[in-house]
Amino acid sequence: MPPPRKALIAITSAHAPLYPEGKETGLFITEALHPFLVFKKAGFDVDLVSETGSYQPDWLSQQKDWLNDEDKAIWEDHSSEFRSKLDDLLKPSDINSSNYGLFFASAGHASLIDYPEAKGLQSIVSKMNTDGAIISAVCHGGAIFPGIIDPSTGKSIIANRRVTGFTTQGEEEEGVLDTIKSWNRPTIEASAASSGATYVSPPGPWDAFTITDGRLVTGANPASAHVTAEAAVNAFDAI
């Protein structure tokens, strides 16, 4: 029996100064919006959840270079399904993992802060993985993986798997590597390595890029959110 055609998108609850003049990181809007639209188009019911039931948008993700007019219209329309679900986020205690067949960790640099310790979200993903669901993440969303343990191996679910995510080169180009270090958090490349995964870099830090390894689907950066979600749907349909 195939898993339920229902997707759960995780949203970071964290926020912190990252950009000039103290502007903050939080949810990178299109990294949740684009997967939401892909999943809806593919016939999935979609819910949004964060560890605390709260979120803050990333400053950069609201700028015109990163949020086109069509996406901005959905984001600013509080009656749109996407925005209304963001405005009324679920918490892990609201979630029955058996109702979902696909998990997607959206991101923003802020996910480096809360995803590693998001025990509620991690528990949901662990159960979904055991039940045979598709597990996916984009950009910094992979920060959740080291804490998701496969009970059959005692290791992270990405151990001995091929994954991608935001490059350390990209952190250097953005000038934020020292800030990440001040959070006492590893880069995505480092956390993948420490979990026993093989990190595969995109052709360039900002190129759309996704990898599918069985039921595990990962993407490299904001430009990859759409193609990663499409690859997750393809993986689901192949079950």
Active-site hit among 109, 140, 226, 230 = 140
User: In angstroms, rounded to a whole number, what is the distance separating the alpha carbons of residues 128 and 123?
Assistant: 9
Phi-psi region of 189 (alpha: psi -120 to 50; beta: other; left: phi over 0): alpha
> By C-alpha distance, which of 45, 8, 37 is closest to 141?
8
Q: What confidence category does residue 37 fall into, taking pLDDT thresholds of 50, 70 and 90?
A: very high
Does the active-site annotation cover 171?
A: yes
pTM: 0.98
CB 107 within 8 A of CB 141: yes
pLDDT band at residue 1 using 50, 70 and 90 as cut-offs:
confident
For the purposes of burial, counting CB atoms within 10 Å of the CB of 176, is it exposed (0-12), middle (13-18) or buried (19 or more)?
A: middle
Catalytic-residue membership of 140:
yes
State yes or no: is 15 an active-site residue: no
8 A C-beta contact, residue 42 and residue 136? no
Catalytic residue among 24, 171, 189, 230: 171
For the CA atoms of 230, 232, 237, 239, what is the dihedral angle to 10 degrees? 160
User: What does the pLDDT look like over 87-135, one tens digit per residue?
Assistant: 999 999 999 999 999 999 999 999 999 999 999 999 999 999 999 999 9
Residues listed for the chain? 239
- The domains of the chain are located at 6-238
What DSSP designation does 4 have? P
Q: Which residues contact 3 (CB under 8 A, 6 or more apart)?
A: 100, 101, 102, 131, 132, 133, 134, 236, 239
What is the per-residue pLDDT across 136-181, written as a single tens digit (0 to 9) for each? 999 999 999 999 999 999 999 999 999 999 999 999 999 999 999 9
Among residues 34, 139, 226, 230, which one is catalytic?
Answer: 139
Neighbours of 239 (CB within 10 A): 12
Task: Measure the CA angle with vertex 158, ends 157 and 161; round to 5°.
Answer: 130
Q: Give CA–CA dist 194/212, Å, rounded.
A: 20
Please tell me the class of the 6-238 domain: alpha beta
